Structure 1
Amino acid sequence: MSDSINIALRFTLYLDLMLLFGLAAFGLYGLRGQERMSGAQLPFTPLLLISAVLGGLLSLAAMACMAWAMSGVSAWAELWPHIEMMVMETEVGVSWTLRMAALLLAGVAVTLNQRWPTASLVLVALGGAVALATLAWAGHGAMDEGARRNWHFITDFLHLWAAGGWVGALAAFALLLRQAEPALAVLARTLTGFETAGALIVVVISVTGVVNYLFIVGPSVTGLLDSTYGQLLALKLILFAAMLVFAALNRFHLTPLLAQARQTGEHKVAVKALRRSMVLEFSVAVVILGLVAWLGTLSPGMGA
């Protein structure tokens, strides 16, 4: 049961913190000026505030779960000293404290959105980036030492930020497409503008994914599929390839279709197709995050 709880907490933290960072980042590179104000195009204030608060609650639960698993005690009075020790005396505790501070910054910054929308999103994105990066201390990189450990962490940071940017963009587009009459000019512009950011995200995820594999498994695939880790990793790669197919469909077919539909005024079919594609792509991303949460609890040599 504890393993299931741990995986569930890891998954929800990944998804929550990626949405916090990714939505704020999308507001900065995808929207302009007053479009960044909550409610103008996207409901930034409720979404980001809920993400920041939920991230804090999930982090508290994750710390309690970790202390419970390591100590074996169940009573709160007995568990509290172990939590205190972990927070104050371990690297995981330091990263956890940093995450809570970053989430506090993001939560406060959200409340400034109506007065200073751009500055608010900058601070939220910064807090979200720091909070997301702290998840690396719960991954395989924390088991390395020396320079190898530092490079593994840097790779993890880049991988997490790129994935967060993709997840946040998918959520933003899905929200824009949910509107009864989406602002087609803004939608078309953000879709076209995401082409460069999307290409960079795919490159970073692909390169850091390969580097992470080399850090964790090494330059070999022999016998990898004999382990649960290898099977889950293979499934993750298949789903990632499916996301690339959806991204290519959006880039080379659906986005041009929307541009043509704007000129003719018959945009409903294009919007419906985009909405379906974005929802499917986001759903695949959620499944991948579930696999990532599970993979983080396994070693490459664990049997099926």
Structure 2
Amino acid sequence: MSWFGVEIDGPLVAARATHFAASAIVAGVMIFRTAIFAPALRSTPRAMPIDRKLRIIVWLGLAAAIVSGLVWLVLEAASMSGLSVDEAITPETLSTVLTATQFGSVMQLRSICVVVLAASLVQERTALLRWLGLAAALGLVGAIAWTGHAGSTAGNAGILHLAADVLHLWAASAWSGGLLALVLLLAAPRQLSGAATLQTMVVRRFSTLGIIAVAVLIVSGAIQTWLLVGSIQAMAVTAYGRLLTVKIVVFTAMLLLAAINRIWLTPHLATAAAERATAMLRRTAAAELMLALVVFGLVGALGTLHPAAHFMI
């Protein structure tokens, strides 16, 4: 299978991309609920039905992460053992991958995060349990860094790479998962009691979070590019570099939509044109989310390729 002239392992890329997207949405919606939506609920308690919908999204994302994670585990087991997928689905092979490889150890740790998050969602009656769920969600997505190129980088460069990758994953989660939650909120009729005030308050808070997330994405992404690519020439002549270039182009398109939302649409939420601005904001946020899913697909592919820097030594 070829993307933009780059040969990739289709099933593995699909499993990785689905798993990354599901994990990021889980973490992002949890960030949205805890840092943005919870404060708004104090002034608009009628918005509780929306919070219940957000919890459903977390459950669905968690289910998708579990299923795609199991598929990823089987595909990695087949790749590591040199067996076919059918031959790799045995207790012995899967147990070896889980107990004797870094990938398996990370998956075990992330499984604990899944259990903690699920338990906190079931018994979510206090702020402590909500924050515990958020911590588990951040652990679930952040630990992905140890399954990729950052996890195999040695020395001080490895520490820097892991730190940048974890921050990149958290920022991407906050942005993408937050966009999904925002689209859901903006779909609520503004005629409902307090809906207009709630939407305006949440959009402004999310806009601030988005600026922070974008700044972290740019800085951490630059560090990763420096470590994995190393030069402009490598961006142009290697498969990894070309695919990364496509990712940067898609990310830039997301930034342009975010700028439209921040500079043009958000200020109109408090004017007579609020209803029209809300509808347009919902559409642009949905477009951003679609582009984010494309980015996750590209990230899923990039993780299966050798870094460009390896070919330029």
Q: TM-score scaled by structure 2? A: 0.87
Distance 1:255 1:51 in 2: 28
Q: Secondary structure at the match of 1:39?
A: helix
Q: 1:40 deviation in Å?
A: 4.2
| Cross-structure match for 2:237 | 226
Q: Secondary structure at the residue paired with 1:53? A: helix
Residue 72 of structure 1 pairs with residue 82 of structure 2: yes
Q: Which moved more, 1:181-190 or 1:14-23?
A: 181-190
Counterpart AA for 1:150: I
Which piece of structure 1 moves more, 75-84 or 208-217? 75-84
| 3-state SS in 1 of match to 2:242 | helix
Amino acid at match of 2:304: T
1:46 equivalent to 2:52? Answer: no
Residue segments in structure 1 that go unaligned for 5+ positions in a row: none
Q: Which residue of 2 aligns with 1:16?
A: 22
Structure 2 matches for 1:132-171, cutoff 5 A?
132-171=141-180
1:106, CA displacement in angstroms?
A: 0.7
- Partners of 1:99 and 1:49 in 2: CA distance: 16
Work out whether residues 78 and 88 of structure 2, in 8 Å CA contact, stay in contact via their aligned partners in 1: no
Who is 2:293 aligned against? 286
**Alignment length (residue pairs):** 296
Match of 1:251 among 238, 262, 265: 262
For 1:46 and 1:195, locate their aligned partners in 2 and report how far apart those are by CA, in whole Å: 24
CA offset at residue 121 of structure 1? Answer: 3.0
Bigger mean CA offset, 272-281 vs 119-128: 119-128
Deviation at 1:99, TM superposition (A): 0.5
Shift of 1:73: 2.8
* 1:213 corresponds to: 225
Instruction: Give, in angstroms, the shift of residue 107 of structure 1.
Output: 1.0
Q: Give 1:78 shift.
A: 6.7
Query: Could you tell me how far 1:224 is from its partner in structure 2?
Result: 2.2
Q: Summarize the Cα distance change of 1:78–1:195 in structure 2 as closer, same or farther, 3 Å threshold.
A: closer
Q: What are the equivalent positions in structure 2 for 1:49-128 lying under 5 Å apart?
A: 49-74=59-84, 75=86, 79-113=90-124, 115-116=125-126, 118-128=127-137
Distance 1:62 1:68, change over 3 A: same
User: Is the CA contact 1:53–1:103 (under 8 Å) kept in the aligned structure 2?
Assistant: no
**For the Cα contact (< 8 Å) 1:239–1:284, is it kept in 2?**
yes
1:42·1:176 contact (CA, 8 Å) conserved in 2? no
Q: 2:284 aligns with which of 277, 283, 287?
A: 277
Give aligned-pair identity as a percent. Answer: 29
Maintained 8 Å contact 1:67/1:79: no
Q: Distance in 1 between matches of 2:214 and 2:234?
A: 28
Query: C-alpha distance in 2, partners of 1:77/1:233?
Result: 31
**Where has structure 1 moved over 6 Å in runs of 4 or more?**
none
Aligned to 1:189: 201
Q: Measure how far apart 1:53 and its partner are.
A: 2.7
Deviation at 1:36, TM superposition (A): 11
The answer (yes or no) to whether the contact 2:88–2:94 under 8 Å persists in 1 is no
| SS of structure 2 residue aligned to 1:152 | helix
Q: Name the Cα RMSD after superposition.
A: 2.2
- Structure 1 pair 77/143, CA: closer, same or farther in 2 (3 Å)? closer
Task: Determine if contact 2:113/2:137 at 8 Å carries over to the other structure.
Answer: yes
Deviation at 1:195, TM superposition (A): 3.0
Taking structure 1 as reference, are residues 72 and 24 closer, same or farther at Cα in structure 2, changes over 3 Å only? same
Q: Residues 172 and 40 (structure 1 numbering): CA distance in 2 closer, same or farther, change over 3 Å?
A: closer
Q: Supply the distance in 2 between the matched residues of 1:242 and 1:99 (Cα, whole angstroms).
A: 32
Contact persistence 1:45–1:111 (CA under 8 A)? no
Give the superposition deviation at 1:124: 2.1
Using a 3 Å threshold, how does the CA distance of structure 1 residues 208 and 4 change in structure 2: closer, same or farther? same
Residue 38 of structure 1 deviates from its aligned partner by: 5.6
Give 3-state SS (helix, strand or coil) of 2:233's partner. Answer: coil
**Using the alignment, how far apart are the partners of 1:19 and 1:124 within structure 2?**
14
User: In structure 2, do the counterparts of structure 1 residues 45 and 192 end up closer, same or farther at CA, with 3 Å as the change threshold?
Assistant: closer
Distance 1:204 1:66 in 2: 30
Q: Which residue of 2 aligns with 1:268?
A: 275
> Are the equivalent residues in 2 in contact too, given 1:42–1:175 (CA < 8 A)?
no
**Structure 2 gap segments, 5+ residues each:** 2-7
Q: Is the alpha carbon distance of 1:259 and 1:28 closer, same or farther for their aligned partners in structure 2, counting shifts above 3 Å?
A: same
